[in-house]
Amino acid sequence: MTAVILGVVAGGLAWIRWLDPHTPIPVTRRCRMAVLAGGIAGSLPVWYLTGTGDYLAKLLLAVIWGCFLLACITDVAICQVYNFVWWISGAAALVLLWLRCRLPHTFSLPGASNGTDGIEAMGAILVVPGSMVALAAFCVLQLLLFARLYGLADCYAFCVCALVECAYGAGMREYLMHMLLAVVLLLPIQAVKRNLNRYGNLKKPVPFLPYITISFYLVFFLKYFGRTVV
């Protein structure tokens, strides 16, 4: 899956060079090392959430994670995220959610086996109507309310993350925890860099996508890793 993730990043950068040749995106050695580390780290939840099978789910999650790494690169380099990143990752997340709603028995979730016990364990985090309502409410809040606080790209990122989180049994609590974690990561780092004023606001805007991406990763660790089904 690491190869798929890195392939998405490389393909996306090539597409951007063709699409917008007058806006070069510098990819330094430090950036390459960070992307390689992100690709390797991103493959861990992909394998954990999908088990030994479910190759379509693996592919969809790898594509989504590759899109987020690509968004981080462009956000840091040129403070811009191209919309095709959200079209691809959003479509992959929607397919993943649709599969989880229509064919939940095809997913090998943590703590599930092939027998009756596995089906019961999987049923503990299947997508339910209430989850869909919370997902819709969260996306509406992002686009109508939070879009005024940060950029649309960040709102799209949170919405795509919520789609994936919903596919694996998350609800409004996890969506809000994700947002809180992103801010908790942002503020101390910016405080160390002396980029906060006396009121706790940023003196100078900074790319928010890396914080959203890292906190998205942490949400999955906190919810799924080291335990069975929550």
The per-residue pLDDT for 107 is 42
Mean predicted confidence (pLDDT) in 201-225: 80
Q: What is the pTM of this model?
A: 0.82
The per-residue pLDDT for 38 is 81
| Contact yes or no for 219/174 (Cβ under 8 A) | yes
Residue 213 pLDDT level (bands cut at 50, 70, 90): very high
The per-residue pLDDT for 130 is 67
Mean predicted confidence (pLDDT) in 66-92: 92
Does residue 3 carry a pLDDT above 80?
Answer: yes
d(CA 5, CA 89): 12
- Per-residue model confidence as pLDDT tens digits over 156-185: 999 999 999 888 878 888 899 899 999 888
Does residue 155 carry a pLDDT above 90?
Answer: yes
Three state DSSP letters for the chain: CHHHHHHHHHHHHHHHHHHCCCCCCCCCHHHHHHHHHHHHHHHHHHHHHHCCCCHHHHHHHHHHHHHHHHHHHHHHHHCCCCHHHHHHHHHHHHHHHHHHHHCHHHCCCCCCCCCHHHHHHHHCCCCCHHHHHHHHHHHHHHHHCHHHCCCHHHHHHHHHHHHHHHHCCCCHHHHHHHHHHHHHHHHHHHHHCCCECCCCCECCCCCCHHHHHHHHHHHHHHHCCCCCCC
The per-residue pLDDT for 94 is 93
- Per-residue model confidence as pLDDT tens digits over 86-122: 999 999 999 988 887 765 444 444 444 444 333 333 3
Percent of the chain whose pLDDT exceeds 70: 77
The per-residue pLDDT for 108 is 44
Mean predicted confidence (pLDDT) in 121-147: 74
